Amino acid sequence: MTRARLARIAASWRSHLLTTFSGDGDGKPQWVEAIADGDDDGYFGPGSASWAVHGGIPTLVAGIRALLVQTLHPGAMAGVHDWSRYREDPLGRLSGTIQWLVTVTFADTAVARRESARVGRFHSRVAGTYVDAEGHERPYSAGDPELLSWVHIVFTDAFLSCHEVWGGPIPGGADAYVREWATAGELVGVVDPPRSERELRDGLAAFRPVIKTDERVAEAVRFIRRPPLRPAMMPAYRILFAGAVASLPRDYRRLLGLRRSPLPVVTATRMVLWLVARVLGSSSTSEDAARARIARLRAAGARPA
């Protein structure tokens, strides 16, 4: 294969990946431009645990893991089944979630609050009923404290766990990441989110009697296993999926109907993440925009009156 053809394939992959993750083929949607504006450093800033974790390539695996585990709460699964567009527009839903994550991580506090309010307005429409683990019908809404807590805890656990496997050091360690990301939970209405790794583990354990598996879970797992990506990208995605499964505790895998591959998928996942990083480039447009904003603010503060 010629170097020119390899370059075209890499460019095609890069465009598709950036469209998947940001909704824009250049990786610079309008909401990234808003990150460069603002009047403060944001909730976290350079050197924070949140910047380290969410700016890292292991987030690709963490997103898969979070989606899998979130299906196990019947209330959360009912909301996805009844209201989500994931079958018709799965990549649109994914890019919307990424927009919130990246904005809260890198934008200034006003933009982060505005983006969280946007998510809250969407959640206000989501309501219905579901059958709980004991067979009782219960009402739900996306703003229920229990469901908000579940989604936040699973998200935090997934991104922390995957970074610990495939990422670098976390400034301040796991406790710093959980403590910082509690702020993001509070922005979308989570009450008393965990603020240490121990509290995070205790929070997960507290949900153990609530979670269950059923046909809706199996359907969602099948979809996450085989999303509508380009055929050329599926071999790499299958490895990332296998890596996400390998990172899960055994009881979650059992409930999800998944088995850990006997192959060295952790190492294979590391290789795929390295390849994706090479294709996308080492520079994050969101982090670059945040650093530009902070540099502007520092320069303005250093000027004489």
| Residues contacting 179, CB < 8 A, separation 6+ | 195, 196
Q: Which residues pair with 128 in a beta bridge?
A: 140
Residue at 135 is within a domain: yes
Per-residue pLDDT at 198 = 98
Q: Which residues pair with 158 in a beta bridge?
A: none
pLDDT value at 206 more than 80: yes
Residue at 4 is within a domain: no
Per-residue pLDDT at 305 = 42
Look at 19-23, 245-249, 294-298 and tell me which has the smallest mean pLDDT. Answer: 19-23
Question: Mean pLDDT across the chain, nearest whole number?
Answer: 86
Residue at 22 is within a domain: no
Residue at 270 is within a domain: yes
**Phi, psi (degrees; rounded to nearest 5) at 139:** -75, 155
Residue at 25 is within a domain: no
Alpha helices (H) along 23-89: 30-36, 49-54, 59-70, 74-83
Tally of domains within the chain: 1
Residue at 64 is within a domain: yes
Residue at 36 is within a domain: yes
Q: What is the pLDDT of residues 7-48, one digit of tens each?
A: 555 445 554 554 555 454 454 667 778 899 999 999 999 999
| Residues contacting 160, CB < 8 A, separation 6+ | 53, 170, 174, 177, 178, 197, 200
Residue at 3 is within a domain: no
CA distances in angstroms from 33 to 28, 140, 161, listed in the order given: 7, 36, 30
Q: Which residue has the higher pLDDT, 263 or 87?
A: 263
d(CA 183, CA 249): 26
Q: What is the pLDDT of residues 221-236, one digit of tens each?
A: 999 999 887 787 889 8
pLDDT value at 61 more than 90: yes
pTM of the model: 0.88
Range of the domain at 267: 30-278+285-299
CA distances in angstroms from 35 to 28, 177, 197, 266, 299, listed in the order given: 11, 21, 29, 34, 17
Is residue 137 within 8 A of residue 147, CB to CB? The reply is no
